[in-house]
Amino acid sequence: MLPDTFPKDPFMLMSFVNMKLRDEYASLDELCASMDVDRADIEVQLWGAGFEYSPENNKFW
């Protein structure tokens, strides 16, 4: 389960995570470790809305 500080809407979540990846973290794993979030929780929420993480681009799309 995602922390309350993360947006619940999948489009807002994608925007939030992509902003963090762009501005603060070199990878999704680094973001998850730093923010104490399970990577699978983020991916499941975003996969459900049709988004997939691209490690090469370090973003969801």
Minimal CA–CA distance to 13: which of 30, 31, 34? 31
CA 59 to chain CA mean position, Å: 8
pLDDT in tens, 18-46: 999 999 999 999 999 999 999 999 999 99
pLDDT the model gives residue 7: 98
pLDDT in tens, 4-14: 999 999 999 99
pLDDT the model gives residue 32: 98
Q: Is the pTM of this model over 0.75?
A: yes
Query: Which residues have CB under 8 Å from 53's CB, separation 6+?
Result: 28, 43, 46, 59, 60
pLDDT the model gives residue 23: 98
